């Protein structure tokens, strides 16, 4: 405990020095607020990443300096902000109260002196467990550490499940709304797909949502049961086919998210980082896919993907997960492009590299290679941003030629989910 007290005093001295150095600016300190001797538990580190994102988005260019400091009393991030201290504190309180996890962080504000809730005559923070004020419960030791950690586990799981799921559904709709789309279904038209439309995908997404939630929960519970994942995926497919009258809208997406979502959720929750994410996708895919490709030649009923493998050696979406979804992480974030162009840049880049067996299914192998070459040339010449008219013309041509890059569309959803949530993996 003496080391924690020493670290606390060191942080207080650092704050004094920051106020002297940035005399006419506001200093903000973000740190986790957790009980116990370990002030930096791995499974709670994502919370500071989350709130760092909130603070950064709220103050944007008003943040003139920012850095992270490691401390036994809890690692903290400090910000130097060009805004009046009381206003910053008011915004900080709103950030803390935006969701339940706000009770697990402290966002302290200083401008020549500490600016507290009482300074602004705001209500004090409530306890994590009961309706009493937090400082009273801490002073009286009303709740045991066991009770507190149990509550922390409950609220962090509930938050992460809902937060990740909401991002997933949001990205599915982003992909669906994209246009021009090279023969894929969109909110504008059905592309080359006469058996489905925008509403079919809306219904399908609603049907599979509970099972995507199960994927996330599976990952958060640190379960190692590939059969359980298979069973969730099969139930998702059944629900999809039931609501679409046996039209395959999202079977490939269900498959790929079965690998990605559990591992992503676990990596975020346990602060395991990007290296873990990639390796664990490969590990999980080997467990589930196993010797599929060694046995495929002996299957009595072969899928279009099986035929593509036997004839051309293409492993399709199975090959992508066996490779750790490497394309998702290699494709640039395109943050230099206009926001509404970025997703099209992702799609074009994916189409340039992915061995999309759905294209072969509707056309032939030569068409796949042609599409890859055309999209590769587009990427080299500046993508959608520099070739808007050309892309629109190509999209219309692909509709006429019955081309539809369904595998690329599924990978696009995963890419968007990753980009939405990767800041929690730091």
Write the pLDDT tens digit of every residue in 275-302.
999 999 999 999 999 988 988 888 888 8
When pLDDT is averaged across residues 132-138 and rounded to a whole number, the result is 90
Indicate the average pLDDT of the chain: 94
More confident residue, 338 or 200: 200
Those residues whose C-beta lies under 8 Å from the C-beta of residue 425, and which sit 6 or more positions away, are 49, 267, 268, 272, 273, 274, 277
More confident residue, 210 or 339: 210
Q: Yes or no: say if 136 and 145 are a contact pair by the CB < 8 Å rule.
A: no
How many CB atoms sit inside 10 A of residue 160's CB?
22
- Residues 95, 96, 102, 107: is their CA dihedral positive or negative? positive
Residues 219-270 have pLDDT tens digits of: 999 778 999 999 999 999 999 999 999 999 999 999 999 999 999 999 999 9
- 369 pLDDT more than 70: yes
Provide the CB-side half-sphere exposure for 423 (13 A, CA): 12
- 131 pLDDT more than 70: yes
pLDDT band at 1 (very low <50, low <70, confident <90, very high): low
Burial of 202 (0-12, 13-18, 19+ CB in 10 A): middle
Percent of the chain residues past pLDDT 70, beyond the cut: 100
When pLDDT is averaged across residues 78-105 and rounded to a whole number, the result is 94
Residues 303-354 have pLDDT tens digits of: 888 899 999 999 999 999 999 999 999 999 998 888 889 999 999 999 999 9
- The pTM assigned to this predicted structure is 0.93
**pLDDT at residue 81 in the model:** 98
When pLDDT is averaged across residues 175-199 and rounded to a whole number, the result is 95
Q: Yes or no: say if 284 and 215 are a contact pair by the CB < 8 Å rule.
A: no
d(CA 299, CA 301): 6
302 token code pair: 């072969």
d(CA 405, CA 371): 9
Peptide bond into 180 cis (omega under 30): yes
Q: Name the DSSP class of 404.
A: -
When pLDDT is averaged across residues 119-144 and rounded to a whole number, the result is 90
pLDDT band at 411 (very low <50, low <70, confident <90, very high): very high
- Residues 264, 154, 126, 19: is their CA dihedral positive or negative? negative
d(CA 132, CA 25): 34
- Residues 371, 377, 383, 389: is their CA dihedral positive or negative? negative
DSSP alpha helix (H) spans, 188-250 = 198-220, 226-243
67 token code pair: 């850095």
Phi-psi region of 105 (alpha: psi -120 to 50; beta: other; left: phi over 0): beta
- 365 pLDDT more than 80: yes
253 token code pair: 């997406």
d(CA 215, CA 90): 38
Q: Name the DSSP class of 126.
A: B
d(CA 100, CA 58): 18
């Amino acid at each position: 405990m003496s080391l924690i007290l020493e670290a606390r005093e060191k942080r207080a001295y650092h704050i004094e020095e920051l106020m002297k150095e940035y005399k006419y600016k506001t200093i903000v300190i973000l740190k986790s607020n957790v009980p116990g001797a370990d002030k930096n538990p791995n499974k709670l580190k994502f919370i500071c990443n989350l709130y760092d994102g909130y603070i950064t988005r709220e103050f944007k260019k008003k943040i003139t300096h920012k850095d992270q400091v490691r401390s036994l009393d809890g690692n903290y991030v400090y910000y130097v902000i060009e805004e009046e201290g009381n206003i910053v504190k008011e915004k900080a309180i709103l950030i803390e109260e935006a969701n339940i996890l706000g009770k697990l962080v402290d966002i302290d504000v200083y401008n020549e002196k500490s600016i507290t809730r009482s300074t602004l005559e705001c209500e004090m923070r409530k306890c994590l467990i009961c309706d009493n004020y937090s400082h009273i419960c801490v002073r009286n030791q009303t709740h045991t550490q066991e009770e507190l950690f149990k509550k922390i586990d409950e609220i962090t799981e509930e938050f992460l499940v809902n937060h990740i799921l909401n991002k997933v559904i949001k990205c599915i709709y982003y992909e669906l709304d994209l246009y021009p789309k090279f023969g894929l279904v969109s909110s504008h038209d059905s592309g080359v797909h006469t058996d489905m439309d925008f509403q079919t995908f809306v219904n399908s997404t609603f049907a599979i949502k509970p099972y995507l939630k199960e994927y996330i929960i599976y990952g958060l519970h640190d379960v190692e049961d590939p059969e359980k994942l298979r069973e969730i995926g099969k139930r998702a497919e059944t629900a999809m086919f039931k609501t679409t009258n046996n039209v395959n809208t999202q079977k490939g997406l269900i498959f790929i998210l079965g690998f990605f979502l559990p591992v992503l959720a676990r990596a975020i929750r346990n602060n395991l980082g990007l290296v873990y994410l990639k390796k664990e996708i490969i590990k999980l895919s080997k467990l589930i896919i196993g010797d599929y490709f060694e046995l495929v030649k002996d299957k009595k009923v072969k899928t279009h993907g099986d035929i593509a493998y036997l004839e051309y050696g293409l492993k399709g979406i199975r090959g992508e997960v066996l490779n750790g979804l490497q394309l998702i992480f290699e494709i640039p974030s395109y943050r230099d492009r206009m926001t509404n162009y970025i997703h099209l840049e992702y799609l074009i880049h994916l189409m340039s590299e992915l061995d999309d067996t759905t294209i072969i299914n509707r056309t032939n192998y030569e068409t796949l290679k042609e599409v890859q070459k055309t999209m590769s040339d587009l990427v080299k010449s500046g993508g959608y941003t520099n070739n808007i008219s050309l892309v629109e013309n190509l999209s219309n041509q692909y509709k006429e030629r019955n081309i539809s890059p369904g595998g690329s569309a599924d990978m696009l959803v995963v890419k968007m989910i990753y980009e939405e949530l990767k800041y929690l993996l730091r």
